[in-house]
Amino acid sequence: MEWKARLLYYEELTKSSEPPLNYISIVELWKLMSKGVLLNGGKTWFSLNKKGEHCEMTSITECLDSHTFEIKSYDPSRFGVIAHFSKNEIFKAHVKTQFLSPGVTYTVNLVFELTTIVNLTDCHPISLKYKLQGETETLNPYLSYMREDGWYMAELYQFTSDERVVDLEILFDVFDDIYVDGIEFWPLEKSVMKHKDENQPISDSDANWKENLPADYEDIMKWSIDSVQWTTKKEAYSIIRNGFLIDDGQKWFSIDKNGKKCHMLSATDVCIDENIYTMPCPESRFGEAIGCHSGGFIIRSKIKSQLVSSQTTYASYLVYKLPKNQSGFEAPLFVNDEDWGTYIYLASPQTPVIRPKDEQNTYNPLDKQMKGFPLQRSDGWMEVQIWEFRTAATTTEMSHIRLALITRNINNLRGLIIQGIEIRPI
């Protein structure tokens, strides 16, 4: 749509805004549209994203065929009212859009709050099943995610709009007590996170290698179980950058491109559970790995102060491989220590696509890029962040990892292979 036509279109929309919009310039109109405006008698929230694509959310009260559920006033809602659904309630939402941008891929999201008081974390499990009217497959989003506006959101579908109007009927089976605000259509934002491969050999153009060579590099070289040899500082730096085995082959030590210390802990040394087993693994740096045939395991280890840099924020990553058949790994794992918990995925969660076009997958990656999502490494393994910590000004204090990774299904981890836990700066 040309700019002038778009301007006329937006000016026409403002005539039905609630309350009426007041603006004196095109710039002010655009700012108002970017913040969002209520249309259709306060039943539709319309806004523009940074690309100028249309975003639309319909009040849940407009989607319900009958008001047999509790409708109550609620100030945090954009619409002023929400629908309260108790545990084990079933409802059908009939949502019809009017303002979508043609040719844009959208996510369909349920926007809600939990009625019970919970810790305000980035993600929270939601007991919800849903399906499109006329479909037989029942779906489960597993986790909901907190938005910038404080509401939780569960991504239900993705689709590419052919026109402004989309008509959907979605059946919900709710097992949580929730307040539902509405159903949102949001343009898919493709931001791909990639694994940063820090263990790259030194290049001749690396001008900062002298500054990044650890002051105690000669002592570090003595840690190697293979008695590595070098003749120049540059050779020593290159060896440490690439990494080597230490501590009887149970750890892999290296430094990143900024000279920060990194290391990997062997799974056989840190994973504890009666239902895991050690197996030979030529692809592993340690020559062996841990196999799982249960629904959980414990990670327990001490992080030696000599193996980390001071005043540095570190992340811990589970390094693993999945079996070819990943059908049992859709659900997230709960990662828990004594007073903290989060959720991670071992297999990238997928969102069903409504009416896929030719050569389009029926499932697309979930529209989220968060710490608990897996990444493909350049060495052929997968990784997912499970913990983070910050070192003190002096590296004399030892950090402790004590984590339990648990699934709901006792057999969900069957076939999982774990190489170890990698500790590297964020």
Please report the pLDDT score of residue 139 as a whole number.
Answer: 93
For residue 258, the one-letter residue type is N
Please report the pLDDT score of residue 104 as a whole number.
Answer: 93
Residue 208 contacts residue 140 (beta carbons within 8 Å): no
Q: Return the closest-CA partner of residue 182 out of 100, 96, 62, 60.
A: 60
pLDDT means over runs of 10, the chain (426 residues): 73 82 84 91 93 94 82 92 91 94 94 76 86 92 89 94 91 92 91 54 65 90 89 91 94 93 95 88 96 87 90 95 88 86 90 77 72 91 93 74 81 88 95
Residue 7 contacts residue 28 (beta carbons within 8 Å): no
Round to whole Å and give the CA distance between 114 and 354.
27
For CA atoms 220, 225, 227, 232, the dihedral sign is negative
Tokens coding 18: 């609630």
- Could you say which DSSP state residue 129 is in? E
Round to whole Å and give the CA distance between 242 and 108.
45
Grouping H, G, I as helix, E, B as strand and the rest as coil, residue 187 is: strand
**Domains of the chain: which residue ranges?**
3-187, 209-425
Q: What is the biggest distance separating any 2 CA atoms in the chain, rounded to whole angstroms?
A: 81
Round to whole Å and give the CA distance between 317 and 289.
15
Please report the pLDDT score of residue 396 as a whole number.
Answer: 61
Domain 3-187 has CATH 2.60.120.260: yes
Residue entry with tokens 């909901």: 144
Q: Residue 221 phi/psi, 5° resolution?
A: -60, -30
Residue 250 CB coordination number (10 Å): 18
Measure CA 403 to chain center: 19
> Which positions ≥6 away from 409 have C-beta within 8 Å?
295, 328, 331
Q: Do 209-425 and 3-187 have the same topology in CATH?
A: yes
> Which positions ≥6 away from 229 have C-beta within 8 Å?
none
Q: Return the closest-CA partner of residue 151 out of 188, 180, 119, 117.
A: 180
Q: Residue 240 phi/psi, 5° resolution?
A: -65, -35
Please report the pLDDT score of residue 151 as a whole number.
Answer: 93
Tokens coding 6: 């778009």
| CB-count burial class (<10 Å; 0-12, 13-18, 19+) for 322 | middle
Residue entry with tokens 């097992």: 175
Measure CA 351 to chain center: 13
Over residues 336-363, the pLDDT tens digits come to: 887 788 899 999 888 999 977 666 678 7
Q: Which CATH number is correct for 209-425, 2.60.130.10, 2.60.120.260, 3.40.640.10, 1.10.150.650?
A: 2.60.120.260
Describe the crossing of helices 26-35 and 3-14 by its angle, rounded to 10 degrees.
70
